[in-house]
Amino acid sequence: MKRIRRQNFRSLALLVIFVITSILLFQSYVLQENSFKPKVVFALSLGEPAGNYLVNLRSWINDLFHFNDLRQKLNKIKSENINLINRFQDFRKLQEENIFLKEALKIKNETDWSLEMAEIILMDPSGLSGSFWINKGLKAGLDEGMNVIVEDRILIGRLVECFNDYCRGESIFNPETRISVEDLRSAVLAVAEVDTKGNFRLKLVPYNSDIQIGDVLVTSAENTNFLKGLLVAKVQKAGSSPDTSSVKEFILEPLLNFSRLSSVFIIKDIVPTS
């Protein structure tokens, strides 16, 4: 009888200790968010030299399963390149005229943005949020809300959380992202967002809008989170919306080159107001 009581008491004591430890652990987990994050990023980024082999291996395996797609894209790019070379000949004359007029009217050149170069060191491994970490933070003058681009002004996303030496950003593929875009050719405005299947789409575009396959979309002035004029995507496919026949939907192909994502630029001058 005494033994049973002792055993029960011991089990109860262990349970109480376990519950208290769990509560304390959970509380410390929740309260130490800002302390854990930079330490975890630092610890994981130490494995970057070896980790890059795994990243390259994944890209290689991905290419292996999509080699047909890659071949088609290569042929498409080759023919686009020839078109662009021909168009460039036409634009050269206009460019010379433009320089002459600028000098004549004494118009200053547009000032470039102040850019800070950084590297993407980690990304979301769960594939569910499009989140990434860069290796610069508050010490480098970065702040939440700043836009992140690659060369050629292609939009990657924006910074959402900054620490001293690291910043976390959300890419344009984050499910909650909505980007106001403008068609470069026809100046039609629309909204690009990630759909339920994870594809990038233009939704609720009026049926008579002048948007065609191959059109390039840039961020418009209506955005509260993104600066104007950043390249976003190209229209890949057109279709009608399943909800109503008076609007159209388009599937977009992002202009991001995923193989060149390690080095990025952060636009420091202006933080769009949300």
Partner 1 sequence: MTKRYLLNFLLFLLVIFIQTYFGMTIFLSSFLNIILIFLIFTFFYFSPYYLFFLIFLASIIFDTLSSFAWGTHLIIFVACFGIGLLLMKFFEKSYFFPRLIIGNIIIAIYFLGFLILNLIFKTSPFYLIILQQLIFTLMGYILFSFLFEKVKHIKLYNHY
Among positions 182, 183, 193, 249, the unique one binding partner 1 when judged by CB under 8 A: 193
Stretch in the footprint of partner 1 (CB under 8 A) among 72-80, 119-127, 205-213, 241-249: 119-127
Among positions 127, 244, 245, 273, the unique one binding partner 1 when judged by CB under 8 A: 127
Shortest distance, position 219 Cβ to partner 1, whole Å: 18
Shortest distance, position 39 Cβ to partner 1, whole Å: 9
Among positions 6, 58, 73, 92, the unique one binding partner 1 when judged by CB under 8 A: 58
**Nearest CB to partner 1, comparing residues 96 and 243:** 243
Among positions 30, 64, 82, 85, the unique one binding partner 1 when judged by CB under 8 A: 30
Q: Residue 179: exposed, middle, or buried by beta-carbon count in 10 A (0-12, 13-18, 19+)?
A: buried
Among positions 142, 149, 202, 256, the unique one binding partner 1 when judged by CB under 8 A: 256
**Subset of residues 8 to 27 that bind partner 1, contact rule: CB under 8 A:** 18, 22, 25-26
Among positions 33, 103, 110, 152, the unique one binding partner 1 when judged by CB under 8 A: 33
Please name which of 263, 230, 260, 231 lies closest in space to residue 117, comparing C-alpha atoms.
263
Stretch in the footprint of partner 1 (CB under 8 A) among 2-10, 38-46, 73-81, 244-252: 38-46
Q: How many Å separate Cα 69 from the centre of its chain?
A: 23
Among positions 79, 89, 109, 126, the unique one binding partner 1 when judged by CB under 8 A: 126
DSSP code string of the chain? -HHHHHHHHHHHHHHHHHHHHHHHHHHHHHHTHHHHHHHHHHHHHTTHHHHHHHHHHHHHHHHHHTHHHHHHHHHHHHHHHHHHHHHHHHHHHHHHHHHHHHHHHTPPPPPPP-EEEEEEEEE-TTSSS-EEEES--GGGT--TT-EEEEGGGEEEEEEEEE-SS-EEEEETTSTT-EEEEEETTT--EEEEEE-TTS-EEEEEEETT----TT-EEEE-TT-SSS-TT-EEEEEEEEEE-SS-TTEEEEEEEE---GGG-SEEEEE-S-----
Shortest distance, position 46 Cβ to partner 1, whole Å: 10
**Nearest CB to partner 1, comparing residues 125 and 242:** 125
Among positions 170, 182, 183, 215, the unique one binding partner 1 when judged by CB under 8 A: 170
- Under rule CB under 8 A, residue 239 binds partner 1: no
Cα separation, 33 vs 37, in Å, equals 6
**By the criterion CB under 8 A, which residues form the site for partner 1?**
18, 22, 25-26, 29-30, 33, 36-37, 40-41, 44, 47, 50-52, 54-55, 57-58, 120, 122-133, 156, 160, 168, 170-171, 173-176, 193-198, 254, 256, 258, 261
